[in-house]
Structure 1
Amino acid sequence: MLSNIRIVLVQTFHPGNIGQAARAMKTMGLSDLVLVRPRCYPDPDASRLAAGAEDVLDGARVVDELSETLGDCVQVVGASARLRSLPLPHYDEPDAMAGAVVEHARQAPVALVFGRERSGLTNGEIRLCSHQVSIPANPDYGILNLSQAVQVLAYEVHRAWRRHPAGDYRYQLPPQAALPTREQVGHFQAHLSRVMTTSGFLTQPHANTEQQLQALFARAQPSRRELSLLRGLLSALEQHLPADLLSDKASSRNRD
């Protein structure tokens, strides 16, 4: 189950932080590390500060875009301060997050995403997540080093895993309740956007409307079966739209 929990570091500046994060992961039984456009990697400082976790570094994957590593995940948790402008489901306590992550990881991959040392995750990157989590800290000085943040959340995940052994069937999701992957969610969101635009519901770009609907479905956490039902509904609605309107919209997309 722990092998289904992925740690993703986005545009890490200091290679030493990558090594320390790998060490934090290994101490908690995690091994799946993905690096999104690191400034400098591989690097001797990363290997030196891994201090025995070189195997985690050796198995790390480097990708150009965050979206490349999230498609197969059923839950993606971005580590950041709460952003009121992006009302995704938010865990105020890491242990609550860890319990959910462990439960979902019994069925499919999940990811914990950490941003840049100084600026964290961008709004666009957080929109790729299904949830957010914050680490409670001193309000006068709530600054954690990247590897410290990885250690805290990795510890909570390992603690939740110890409390709920993988063999305990009571914590497994039944097949009909299995969560969709982020790729499947992305297809649904694109389908919904297409129907809203084609039907005339969106007559001009309405970023806030689409973000609010994204947040609504993130809070609802529809299962794969429920998401398939929603896509079936959208397809049925498309069949009742005027054919000339559909062709005009398709031609417009092709020109774009």
Structure 2
Amino acid sequence: MLSNIRVVLVQTFHPGNIGASARAMKTMGLSDLVLVRPRAFPDPEATRLAAGAEDLVEGARVVDSLAEAVSDCVQVVGASARLRSLPLPHFDEPDAMARELVEHAAHDPVALVFGRERSGLTNDEIRLCSHQVSIPANPDYGILNLSQAVQVLAYEAFTAWRRRPTSGYRPALPPEERQPSREQLDHFHGHLARVMQGSGFLTQPHARTEAQLQALFARAQPSRRELSLLRGLLASLEHHLPEA
């Protein structure tokens, strides 16, 4: 289960923070580290600050985009200050987030996403997430180092894993009843956007409307079977639209 919890670091500037984050992960049993366009990697400073977690640093996967990093994940939680302009579901308490994350991780990959040291995640990157989470801190000085934020959320995930119910047999969900991956959802949202524009509901791309609909489906958490049903509905509607 813990091996299904991925930590994604986006455009990390200081390579030492990669090593320190790997160390924070390893102390909490996490091992899947993905780096999105780090400024400097590999780097001796990353290895030095890993301090026993060098295997995580050496095994880290480097990708070109956040979309690539989380495409197979069924839940993607972006760590950030709450952005009310983006209507994504938001966890105000990390322990509540961790319980849900661990539940999904029993069957499929999930991800915790952390942004740049100075500026965090962009709005476009937050939109690639299914949820946001904030770490409660001193309102007069609520600044956490990147690796400290990784440590806090990794601890919450590990604690939720330790406290999960272990009594009784819980059969694995069939694939069609599980949550869709971000890649599957992205295809659905792209299909929905085409139908909205082709039907005249939207006469031009409208980021706010599309973001609100994405948030709606994030809250609804449709299963893969339900998403397939919606795709079939869109395909039927699209078939009856006039050709451009």
Partner of residue 100, structure 1: 100
> Does residue 182 of structure 2 align to residue 188 of structure 1?
no
Q: Mapping of 1:153-192 within 5 angstroms?
A: 153-164=153-164, 169-170=169-170, 173=173, 175-192=175-192
Partner of residue 252, structure 1: none
Partner of residue 234, structure 2: 234
Report deviation, 1:238: 1.3
Report deviation, 1:177: 3.0
Report deviation, 1:40: 0.8
Q: Which is richer in helix?
A: 1
Provide the C-alpha distance between the structure 2 equivalents of 1:113 and 1:206, rounded to a whole number of angstroms. 26
Partner of residue 200, structure 2: 200
**TM-score scaled by length of structure 2:** 0.96
Report deviation, 1:7: 0.2
Partner of residue 253, structure 1: none
Partner of residue 112, structure 2: 112
Distance 1:204 1:96, change over 3 A: same
Contact conserved, 1:103 with 1:173, CA < 8 A, in 2?
no
**TM-score scaled by length of structure 1:** 0.92
Secondary structure of residue in 1 paired with 2:45 = helix
Report deviation, 1:204: 2.2
Provide the C-alpha distance between the structure 2 equivalents of 1:135 and 1:168, rounded to a whole number of angstroms. 33
Distance 1:51 1:99, change over 3 A: same
Secondary structure of residue in 2 paired with 1:117 = coil
Provide the C-alpha distance between the structure 2 equivalents of 1:226 and 1:132, rounded to a whole number of angstroms. 24
Provide the C-alpha distance between the structure 2 equivalents of 1:168 and 1:182, rounded to a whole number of angstroms. 31
Deviation sequence 1:92-150 (CA, Å, 0-9, x none): 00000000110000111000000000000000000000000000000110000000000
Deviation sequence 1:166-210 (CA, Å, 0-9, x none): 786449656553100000000000000000011111112322111
% of aligned pairs identical? 79
Distance 1:18 1:165, change over 3 A: farther
Distance 1:76 1:167, change over 3 A: farther
> Does residue 91 of structure 2 align to residue 91 of structure 1?
yes
Secondary structure of residue in 2 paired with 1:121 = coil
Rg larger for: 1
Partner of residue 34, structure 1: 34
> Does residue 213 of structure 2 align to residue 213 of structure 1?
yes
Which stretch has the larger CA shift, 163-172 or 116-125? 163-172
Secondary structure of residue in 2 paired with 1:116 = coil
Partner of residue 251, structure 1: none
> Does residue 100 of structure 2 align to residue 75 of structure 1?
no
Secondary structure of residue in 1 paired with 2:111 = strand
One-letter amino acid matched to 1:116: R
Report deviation, 1:236: 1.1
Provide the C-alpha distance between the structure 2 equivalents of 1:35 and 1:169, rounded to a whole number of angstroms. 36
> Does residue 152 of structure 2 align to residue 152 of structure 1?
yes
Mark the runs of 5 or more structure 1 residues left unpaired by the alignment. Answer: 249-256
One-letter amino acid matched to 1:212: Q
Partner of residue 132, structure 1: 132
Secondary structure of residue in 2 paired with 1:164 = coil
Report deviation, 1:161: 0.4
Distance 1:173 1:203, change over 3 A: same
Provide the C-alpha distance between the structure 2 equivalents of 1:77 and 1:124, rounded to a whole number of angstroms. 14
Aligned positions, number: 244
Contact conserved, 1:106 with 1:166, CA < 8 A, in 2?
no
Provide the C-alpha distance between the structure 2 equivalents of 1:166 and 1:144, rounded to a whole number of angstroms. 34
Mark the runs of 5 or more structure 2 residues left unpaired by the alignment. Answer: none
Contact conserved, 1:103 with 1:172, CA < 8 A, in 2?
no
Provide the C-alpha distance between the structure 2 equivalents of 1:169 and 1:48, rounded to a whole number of angstroms. 44
One-letter amino acid matched to 1:230: L
